[in-house]
Structure 1
């Protein structure tokens, strides 16, 4: 897959979910916007979990742990370049390695992710875990 295809396929979703890694807790409006974008992409909760763990967390966790990282907002262009570069390399052993270590890269945002998924399931008329 080429860079433009990745941006076309996932860019909107990645940028919508990126605020989960910001300094502040997402508000009602933030969660509502994330759910709106998620629904446009028609992904299952299981598929979303892997987007969170493999496509987003390895890049965004670096921002979260960096002393000079972006805390209040992301530069969308710069972030998209980083996400595309990461995801173009996400094959074979790299994919397996990130899957193995995804608990570490998601632990600081897991509570936010769980809240988002619970809200999404309610929106879909499903029972949250």
Structure 2
């Protein structure tokens, strides 16, 4: 897969989910927007979990743990370049390594992710409000 295809297929979803790693808690409007974008992409919960763990967390966890700067927002262009670069290299041993360590890279945002997935399930009618 080339860089443009990655941006076309995942760019909107990646940038929409990136605020899960910011230092502030997502607002109701943030979660509502994330759910709407997820619904447009028509992905299973399993596919979403792997996007969270392998495509996003390895890049965004570095931002979260950085002591330099304040992580209240992202430079979308710079972030997209980092995400595309990571995902172009995500195969073979790199993929297996990130699978192994994904618990560490998702640990600080897991509660937000679980909240989001609960809202997705409600939106899909899979669990009642």
Query: TM-score normalised to the size of structure 2?
Result: 0.97
1:75 equivalent in structure 2: 75
Cα distance change on mapping 1:95 and 1:69 into 2, 3 Å? farther
2:38 equivalent in structure 1: 38
1:123 and 2:129 correspond: no
Q: Which runs of 4+ in 1 moved over 2 A?
A: none
1:61 equivalent in structure 2: 61
C-alpha distance in 1 between matches for 2:58 and 2:88: 13
1:102 and 2:95 correspond: no
Report which structure shows greater RCO (CA 8 Å, sep ≥6): 2
Q: CA deviation at 1:127?
A: 2.5
User: Residues 11-48 of structure 1: CA distance to partner in whole angstroms, max 9, x if unpaired?
Assistant: 00000000000010001100000011101100001100
Aligned Cα root-mean-square deviation (Å) = 1.0
Q: In 2, are the aligned partners of 1:3 and 1:88 still within 8 Å (CA)? A: yes
Query: TM-score normalised to the size of structure 1?
Result: 0.97
Structure 2 unmatched ranges of 5 or more: none
More divergent stretch after superposition (25-34 vs 119-128): 119-128
Aligned residue-pair number: 128
Q: CA deviation at 1:71?
A: 0.7
